[in-house]
């Protein structure tokens, strides 16, 4: 639930005071204007205009806050996607060569820090496990003998990345995380089989 800030309380109190004061003022002018022709109608027009302006301002203020929040969410999702794509690209680049260079290890270290900024906790946990697999498979900086193990670890990482980016959509489409994990693992295993043959 959103907490109400002191500024919002101030605006609420100011609005309440204005409405109460305005009510008594317009009630007074409405009673006085009884003898002047069209005075009551003009008072009602002014009252209606003020009420319309206040309601419109309140609605626009709320709509602006929602739009800002939506825009921030979109920018954050774009940043997440960019970092995840960079990670996958780097891992692809690393696996295309038999030996991992120092430059690739440095890129991986910096990418780890970028992930720490945007990734969800399950992604970070799986990424840690993935790094353990990479460390184990590349003790001699040669990854050519460990494609299958790396592919499985990357598949598990991909499941978490997908859940972080579009997990809610999968739930709406009635796909369970287990089924998605099965599909990704199956595809990963199939791609390893193709490479080994």
Other Cβ atoms within 10 Å of 20 Cβ, number: 10
DSSP letter assigned to residue 175: -
Closest-CA residue to 88 (of 151, 138, 147):
151
pLDDT mean by block of 10 residues, the chain; 197 residues: 70 80 78 70 78 81 85 91 91 78 82 89 90 78 69 83 79 71 73 58
Instruction: Measure the CA–CA gap between 34 and 29, rounded to whole angstroms.
Output: 9
Domain residue limits, the chain: 6-69, 74-196
Taking the whole predicted model, whether its pTM rises above 0.95 is answered as no
Angle at which helices 39-96 and 6-32 pack, to 10 degrees? Answer: 160
User: Which single residue is written with the structure tokens 């799986």?
Assistant: 126
pLDDT at 37: 67
DSSP letter assigned to residue 36: S
Largest Cα span, the chain: 100
Instruction: Measure the CA–CA gap between 86 and 80, rounded to whole angstroms.
Output: 10
pLDDT at 1: 44
What single string gives the DSSP state of each residue in 94-149? Answer: HHHSSB--HHHHHHHHHHHHHHHHH--HHHHHHHHHHHHHHHHHTTTSB-TT-HHH
pLDDT at 79: 92
């Amino acid at each position: 639930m959103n907490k109400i800030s002191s500024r919002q309380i101030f605006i609420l109190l100011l609005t309440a005071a204005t409405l109460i004061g305005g009510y008594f003022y317009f009630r007074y002018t409405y009673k006085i204007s009884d003898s002047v022709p069209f005075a009551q109608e003009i008072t009602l027009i002014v009252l209606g205009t003020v009420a319309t302006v206040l309601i419109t301002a309140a609605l626009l203020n709320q709509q602006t806050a929602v739009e800002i929040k939506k825009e921030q969410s979109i920018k954050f999702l774009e940043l997440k996607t960019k970092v995840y794509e960079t990670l996958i690209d780097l891992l692809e680049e690393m696996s295309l060569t038999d030996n991992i260079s120092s430059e690739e290890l440095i890129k991986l270290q910096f990418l780890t820090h970028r992930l720490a900024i945007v990734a969800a906790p399950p992604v970070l946990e799986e990424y840690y496990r993935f790094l353990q697999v990479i460390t184990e498979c590349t003790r001699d900086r040669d990854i050519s003998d460990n494609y299958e193990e790396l592919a499985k670890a990357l598949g598990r990482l991909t499941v978490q990345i997908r859940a972080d980016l579009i997990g809610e959509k999968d739930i709406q489409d009635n796909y369970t995380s287990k089924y998605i994990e099965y599909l990704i693992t199956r595809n990963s295993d199939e791609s390893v089989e193709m490479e080994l043959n």
